[in-house]
Structure 1
């Protein structure tokens, strides 16, 4: 089963709100066999990607039983349905990422603003490749993670595309002096990392 996307969650939440106080069994009964409760539940909880025809049928049913289904709402939910099955770039790293990390990247990709407060390290969205490699190695809890360091560094750098896209993410980061002044055995690593942070603060963001 694929990890749910932010769009699928939004769609599910909107459909759940339209169902209101109806139970899933009551909805199934009102649909005269068009829907079974388990199918609607999977759509509402984003456990499965909804099909446009199913969403259309649900919206028709909700309109029939008196729910307010405007043309604007219908169009918005159908757009979410069509976009909900789109795979992000991170899906090519499915064997590397945990479901929680995939979820984080999915939310990050859809966000307009992210606020970050870090004590000991530079936020991932501002890390250089060498810095990311050092942090990932230092925090690796198993040999399996150590074997995936190169791929995890690629992922961390790829996440930064949200800062340079057409409508860039607004990143508000509080970084401790300790993180900026830390040292490393890798020559020049912290100089490059501090310089990169300075560029983002002074105008690349």
Structure 2
């Protein structure tokens, strides 16, 4: 929400034909601070906002609505309580996930976090963070489980994931864990906004073979679509339109090449037998 308000603040300044320097003078800060407010790189202090909005000619209900949204945006997200085990580069991901109206993903290695069982998540996280204490591991699992509450919200986003068949063959956590995980995936197909496709080995090469990525779309015109890709020690967030479109085209091509959504339950039941 802070990013949305930052863009709206910029629009209001430009509509009022107020320069960065003039806006900065009104609240006794540097022009860089105003720029950072518009880019959502700093918090939106209510006294600053009131003065800026007055200078931009915003009054009455329009000002009050803006300030109410700013107060809400200044509240830490629920994930803030997990900051001890939440890397800064992934905190942004959880924020995007919570605001998105559509989340699409290609996963060649593991079941997406939003669709993992607790035991499967434990096995993945234990492998990914081998130096964690048991307490830290439990905190990471709790964070992942709490993220999944997104699926049952009244305004839940559409989740559309394409899983490489490898994901369902790789024995994460052992046979029982995999059987439970596949059963869980079959169950999630009953959720109206969850779509799952399997990219079979027989499909051959496909355009997403370079690695996993997630695509986010939002319900605010001020927020551009974002693509997330992850590395061993960090992540990249792509929001340049031309680059995002390239990823979206890949997802669309893969959706055509993968097995139809309606066949997913049958395929999952078939692959479950291996475990």
TM-score by length of 2: 0.61
Closer, same or farther: CA 62–145 of 1 in aligned 2, 3 Å? farther
Distance in 1, matches of 2:188 and 2:163, equals 13
Closer, same or farther: CA 185–117 of 1 in aligned 2, 3 Å? closer
Q: Comparing both structures, which one devotes a greater share of its residues to helix?
A: 1
Unpaired runs of at least 5, structure 2:
194-275
Matched residue, 1:87: 76
State the Cα distance separating 1:173 from its structure 2 match. Answer: 0.7
Is 1:61 equivalent to 2:78 in the alignment? Answer: no
SS in 1 for 2:94: helix
Unpaired runs of at least 5, structure 1:
1-6, 64-68
Distance in 2, matches of 1:145 and 1:111, equals 32
Closer, same or farther: CA 45–183 of 1 in aligned 2, 3 Å? same
What pairs up with 1:4-43 in 2 under 5 angstroms? 7-20=1-14, 23-29=19-25, 31=26, 34-37=27-30, 38-43=32-37
Distance in 1, matches of 2:44 and 2:125, equals 36
CA-atom RMSD in angstroms: 2.5
Closer, same or farther: CA 162–77 of 1 in aligned 2, 3 Å? same
What pairs up with 1:1-205 in 2 under 5 angstroms? 7-20=1-14, 23-29=19-25, 31=26, 34-37=27-30, 38-63=32-57, 69=58, 74-140=63-129, 143-144=131-132, 148-184=136-172, 186-203=174-191, 205=193
Q: Comparing both structures, which one devotes a greater share of its residues to strand?
A: 2
Aligned residues: 190
Distance in 2, matches of 1:134 and 1:52, equals 44
State the Cα distance separating 1:72 from its structure 2 match. Answer: 6.9
Matched residue, 1:4: none
Closer, same or farther: CA 105–184 of 1 in aligned 2, 3 Å? closer
State the Cα distance separating 1:40 from its structure 2 match. Answer: 2.6
Distance in 1, matches of 2:166 and 2:111, equals 10
Distance in 2, matches of 1:107 and 1:185, equals 29
Distance in 1, matches of 2:148 and 2:73, equals 22
Distance in 2, matches of 1:94 and 1:119, equals 28
Equivalent residues of 1:137, 1:146 under 8 A apart:
no
State the Cα distance separating 1:87 from its structure 2 match. Answer: 2.0
